Amino acid sequence: MIAQGKGNVLGVRIDAVDYAAAVERIVEAAEARRPLAVSALAVHGVMTGVLDPAHRYRLNRFDLLVPDGQPVRWALNWLHRAGLGDRVYGPTLMLRVCERAAAERLPVYLYGGTAELLAALRARLVGRFPALAVAGARASQFRRLSEAERDEAVEAIRASGAALTFVGLGCPRQEVWAFEMRQALSMPVIAVGAAFNFHAGLLPQAPRWLQSRGLEWLFRFLQEPRRLWRRYLLLNPIYLGLLFMQFTGMHRLDSRPTPPPREEVRPG
């Protein structure tokens, strides 16, 4: 089990952890009914913090930011000698947490996506982990929530008896939601991005040989070029350039506290 604390990657503080350490922290918080904001960040997730100081403020207050993408793991190893042998891939982390949740009788809640996606996801998760209790599911409104809607969603999750919540709203909306709801829910809130679509069977995953070489982005780009071209063809080179500058000492983005966001947004 590897848990070495956080390392600055372009101003975003990423945890140098492996799957075992990440799952253990999540399960411990779920059993104690303790707030824990978690996200799995690939290059795009890191770059949302690089380009938006208000969002960097949010990310750097997450309890656990795991290296979802291979380039993020490589950055931790290069910059901070983390010695990580593998990334902590959000979809795999979700399955490992579900496996432990089933074993420990910890009910889970699913938040985000469409009603059809959630129905398929729920059926597949229970099919894979028969002892898993899915306490409830709520589809995204695909718009900003009002304060009353936010409070109603929080109350529904808490009343469900869930011990932890998975959030699949897409980056960065899911991180904003997790940041804002973590204290009110008083449980682990885990942003897992495309994991909902993958595990519901609605989106194919890249072959493992592409994933291990840091080329999952290419597979996803070829699947959805019109939606993802800006994310990958613009942000990936910028990430690599900034990483080189941090590695050589030419430039280092500050991860120290910045002013909080002036206005909290409530995506749902």
Q: Is residue 230 part of a domain?
A: no
The reported pLDDT for the residue numbered 144 is 77
The token duo for 149 is: 């809607």
Q: Is residue 190 part of a domain?
A: yes
15 Ramachandran zone, left/alpha/beta (phi>0; psi -120 to 50): beta
The whole-angstrom separation of Cα 153 and Cα 91 is: 24
Give the sign of the dihedral formed by CA 164, CA 89, CA 112, CA 53. positive
Q: Is residue 235 part of a domain?
A: no
What pLDDT, in 10s, does the model give residues 49-95? 999 999 999 999 999 999 999 999 999 999 999 999 999 999 999 99
Q: Is residue 28 part of a domain?
A: yes
Q: Is residue 239 part of a domain?
A: no
Q: Is residue 161 part of a domain?
A: yes
Domain of residue 119, CATH code = 3.40.50
The reported pLDDT for the residue numbered 149 is 79
**pTM of this structure:** 0.89
Domain carrying residue 102: 3-199
Q: Is residue 204 part of a domain?
A: no
The whole-angstrom separation of Cα 60 and Cα 74 is: 19
92 touches 68 (CB < 8 A): no
Q: Is the pLDDT of residue 223 over 90?
A: no
Task: State how many domains the chain has.
Answer: 1
Could you tell me the strand order of the sheet in which 36-41 lies?
64-67, 36-41, 188-191, 164-167, 108-111, 134-138
Which of 187, 179, 183, 140 minimizes the C-alpha distance to 160? 187
The reported pLDDT for the residue numbered 217 is 75
Q: Is residue 259 part of a domain?
A: no
